[in-house]
């Protein structure tokens, strides 16, 4: 018998996302399952009878009637901002379009003005309750983008805030530089200069200080066109950053094809992905990250073709796109419900999309989003009888307990 820090036992179902020999994810389920954790790592999992034969612990959690699963990985969030935009939400619902609001100085550009005025400490204080809420809803790792600074100083400030949040909060933040989120007001008449600023100053500084693991860009004809996207991402790749693209959100602009060509780790949104791009990202191994919350929250009709993507053998991930303008929620379970209803994903597929496939979208699939020996003990106990129940009982919080690095968090 080996002594360990923590055993969770008697789970009605223990959900283990695994890969088959073809690299396709599937959900392996242990009825009456248990997990043993030690020093922040998973050291055993399987049937309760087998685990309690091998391990003993002072701290034991009885998960009778509940589901035990890996903590969710949210591979696309914008959590560093200052001030919210509920007034725009009201205006949009009264008939104003997102484009009209943006033209009037609202949208991303209003978040930019607010972020620039805020101190690092104010940004940290503003983000912390949101990070708490991610964890309360079952998420233990988020990818976190800058992108509301849009100046050298303010992008660096945003990434430093992400680094500090990662240090002081239990949730893990994986940093992404998104200086190419929008053209800031002062560069509207000289966009080439802004692109030079990104390439010549921001990217080298971010890479040198290791402030980000990924570089992302909003590729859309009215923001950064295909040529500009290729130029910026080329510079990022040369500086050692991995790539992500906001692609084909509002039009089929070729962003996903470019993601494939440049071997981006993920291509995100994809509501207007072309059939050709589906084949191309299959070849490149780029993970499609779908954001149904943004479609829903903007009152749009066209969701990404998840069925086509999954049926052609791609590992589809889901994310919240948490941000103050186009998707104000930290809830992955809500994304799972939207995925089932509007994208016709199965309950098993939305679980895989929020765990193992989401970890792939941030190059962390060996450590998180799975339950295996020596992976991180990031686990959630759910007040649900089986995995199909979670997307079904929507709009409420069904988390029982969150375990982060082997520690029970409230
Ligand atoms: Zn986004």
**How far away, in angstroms, is 112 Cα from ligand 1 center?**
15
Look at residue 240 and tell me if it is in a domain: yes
**How far away, in angstroms, is 321 Cα from ligand 1 center?**
5
Residues 88 and 197 in one domain: yes
Closest by CA to 76, choosing from 391, 354, 397, 369, is 354
Query: Which residues sit with Cβ closer than 5 angstroms to ligand 1, an ion?
Result: 321
Q: What whole-number percentage of the chain has pLDDT above 70?
A: 100
**How far away, in angstroms, is 325 Cα from ligand 1 center?**
10
The separation between CA 52 and the C-alpha centre of its own chain, rounded to angstroms, equals 35
Residues 20 and 160 in one domain: no
**How far away, in angstroms, is 220 Cα from ligand 1 center?**
12
Residues 304 and 176 in one domain: yes
Residues 24 and 118 in one domain: no
Rounded to whole angstroms, how far apart are CA atoms 325 and 82? 12
Residues 13 and 117 in one domain: no
The answer to whether the CB of 18 falls within 8 A of the CB of 30 is no
Rounded to whole angstroms, how far apart are CA atoms 17 and 131? 25
Which backbone phi and psi does 124 adopt, to 5 degrees?
Answer: -65, -50
Q: Whole domain around residue 326: which residue ranges?
A: 72-360
CA atoms within 13 A on the CB side of 402: 20
CA atoms within 13 A on the CB side of 182: 19
Residues 108 and 256 in one domain: yes
Catalogue the long-range contacts made by 276-279 (C-beta closer than 8 Å, 24 or more residues apart): 277/248, 278/305, 278/308, 278/309, 278/312, 278/314, 279/312
Rounded to whole angstroms, how far apart are CA atoms 140 and 153? 29
Residues 294 and 393 in one domain: no
Residues 277 and 319 in one domain: yes
In order, the DSSP letters of 132-150 are HHHHHTTEEEEEEE--S--
CATH number of the domain enclosing 52: 2.30.40.10
**How far away, in angstroms, is 268 Cα from ligand 1 center?**
8
Residues 177 and 241 in one domain: yes
Q: How many domains is the chain built from?
A: 2
Look at residue 223 and tell me if it is in a domain: yes
Cβ contacts of residue 311 below 8 Å, gap of 6+?
A: none
Summarised one tens digit per residue, pLDDT across range 298-312 is 999 999 999 999 999
CATH number of the domain enclosing 214: 3.20.20.140
Look at residue 93 and tell me if it is in a domain: yes
The answer on pLDDT for 1 being more than 80 is yes
Task: Tell me the average pLDDT of the chain.
Answer: 96
**How far away, in angstroms, is 213 Cα from ligand 1 center?**
16
**How far away, in angstroms, is 199 Cα from ligand 1 center?**
21
Residues 400 and 306 in one domain: no
Look at residue 118 and tell me if it is in a domain: yes
Residues 105 and 37 in one domain: no
Summarised one tens digit per residue, pLDDT across range 252-295 is 999 999 999 999 999 999 999 999 999 999 999 999 999 999 99
The answer on pLDDT for 98 being more than 80 is no
| The last residue of a domain, from among 360, 381, 397 | 360
The answer on pLDDT for 102 being more than 80 is no
Residues 66 and 117 in one domain: no
pTM of the model: 0.97
Look at residue 365 and tell me if it is in a domain: no
């Amino acid at each position: 018998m080996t002594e360990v820090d923590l055993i969770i036992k008697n789970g009605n179902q223990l959900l283990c996302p695994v890969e088959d020999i073809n690299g396709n994810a599937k959900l392996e389920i242990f009825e009456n399952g248990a997990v043993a954790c030690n020093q922040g790592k998973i050291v055993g999992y399987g049937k309760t009878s087998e685990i309690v034969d091998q391990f003993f612990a002072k701290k034991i959690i009885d998960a009778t009637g509940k589901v035990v699963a890996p903590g969710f990985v949210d591979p696309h969030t914008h959590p560093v901002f200052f001030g919210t935009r509920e007034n725009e939400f009201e205006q949009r619902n009264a008939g104003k379009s997102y484009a009209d609001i943006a033209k009037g100085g609202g949208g991303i550009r209003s978040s930019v003005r607010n972020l620039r005025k805020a101190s690092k400490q104010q940004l940290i204080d503003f983000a912390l309750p949101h990070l708490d809420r991610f964890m309360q809803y079952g998420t233990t790792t988020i990818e976190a983008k800058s992108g509301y600074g849009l100046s050298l100083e303010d992008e660096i400030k945003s990434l430093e805030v992400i680094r500090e949040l990662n240090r002081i909060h239990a949730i893990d933040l994986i940093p992404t530089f998104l200086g190419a989120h929008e053209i800031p007001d002062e560069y509207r008449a000289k966009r080439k200069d802004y692109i030079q600023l990104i390439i010549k100053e921001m990217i080298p500084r971010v890479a040198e200080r290791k402030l980000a693991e990924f570089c992302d860009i909003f590729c859309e004809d009215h923001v950064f066109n295909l040529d500009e996207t290729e130029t910026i991402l080329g510079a990022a790749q040369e500086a050692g950053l991995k790539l992500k693209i906001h692609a084909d959100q509002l039009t089929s602009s070729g962003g996903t094809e470019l993601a494939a060509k440049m071997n981006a780790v993920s291509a995100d949104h994809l509501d207007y992905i072309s059939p050709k791009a589906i084949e191309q990202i299959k070849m490149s191994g780029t993970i499609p990250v779908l954001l149904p919350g943004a479609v829903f929250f903007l009152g749009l009709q066209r969701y990404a073709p998840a069925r086509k993507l999954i049926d052609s053998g791609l590992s589809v991930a889901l994310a919240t796109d948490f941000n103050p303008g186009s998707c104000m929620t930290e809830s992955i379970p809500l994304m799972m419900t939207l995925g089932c209803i509007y994208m016709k994903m199965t309950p098993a597929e939305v679980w895989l999309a929020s765990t193992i496939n989401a970890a792939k979208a941030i190059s962390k699939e060996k450590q998180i989003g799975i339950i295996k020996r020596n992976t991180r003990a990031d686990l959630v106990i759910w007040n649900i009888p089986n995995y199909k129940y979670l997307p079904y009982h929507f709009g409420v919080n069904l988390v029982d307990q969150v375990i982060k690095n082997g520690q029970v968090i409230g």
